[in-house]
Structure 1
Amino acid sequence: MVEQEHYELRLYVAGKTQKSTTALNNLRKYCEEHLMGKYTLEVIDLLVNPQLAEGDQILAIPTLVKKVPDPVRKIIGDLSNKEKVLVGLDIRPKV
């Protein structure tokens, strides 16, 4: 069996807006379902740390950035489209 890679995810939000909260809840649900114990999630609030947006070239909020494994990917929005998120993160659903 091939060892599954560890995912490093960053979710950029701007305060506790409905869209940001929905994105975080959706992401946590997908990660628990498909990446149990195989991910780290960092939530960055750009209202608190606006300078951090530049490093990942964040242009819209909320934005999810998959840092590891390569390639780096970005998904913008509230992450409510599960299929789009899993494809964007290159996660194959368990059969």
Structure 2
Amino acid sequence: MTDTPKSPKKLVLYVAGQTPKSLTAIANLRRICDTHVPGEYEIDVVDLRQNPKLAREHDIVAIPTLVRELPVPLRKIIGDLSDEEKVLISLKVEG
């Protein structure tokens, strides 16, 4: 049996501090990933208040913004990620 492991999905969530919207986006993202791609994702949370230059470097125009870096092509979605179907479709996260 040669099950080839899937490459993990690399997701980066850009937030601005511990605001309610940021915390909601983090919780929604973890729930969506745990439900649809358990064990197949890696999430990095980047606080732009601690490192504001990253917003320009990574072309972040609004927060929270979720970026799927892997697999390519890069995909972005803006907001608190409360619309699960929109997140799955926009980022092509599922399976």
Q: TM exceeds 0.5?
A: yes
Q: Which runs of 4+ in 1 moved over 4 A?
A: none
Aligned to 1:75: 77
Q: Percent identity?
A: 51
Match of 1:85 among 84, 87, 94: 87
2:64 maps to 1:62: yes
Unaligned runs of 5+ in 1: none
Match of 1:35 in 2: 37
More moved, 35-44 vs 76-85: 35-44
Q: Does the Cα contact within 8 Å between 2:37 and 2:94 map onto a contact in 1?
A: no
- Compute the TM-score of the two structures, normalised by the length of structure 2: 0.89
1:23-77: CA deviations, max 9, x gaps? 0000000111112111111000011111111222000000000000011000000
Secondary structure of residue in 1 paired with 2:73: coil
Displacement of 1:5 after TM fit? 3.2
Which of 40, 44, 49 pairs up with 2:51?
Answer: 49
Aligned mates of 2:43, 2:13 — CA distance in 1: 7
For residues 48 and 15 of structure 1, the distance between their equivalents in structure 2, rounded to whole angstroms, comes to: 8
- In the alignment, the residues of structure 2 paired with residue 67 and residue 92 of structure 1 have an alpha-carbon distance, to the nearest angstrom, of 15
Q: For residue 2 of structure 1, report the CA deviation from its aligned partner.
A: 6.7
Unaligned runs of 5+ in 2: none
Q: Could you say what secondary structure the match of 1:54 adopts?
A: helix
Structure 1 residues 1-10 or 34-43, which shifts more? 1-10
Task: Count the aligned residue pairs.
Answer: 93
Distance 1:6 1:88 in 2: 17
TM-score by length of 1: 0.89
Instruction: Answer with 59-68 or 3-12: which moved more.
Output: 3-12
Which stretch shows the higher mean deviation, 82-91 or 19-28? 82-91
- Cα RMSD, aligned residues only: 1.5
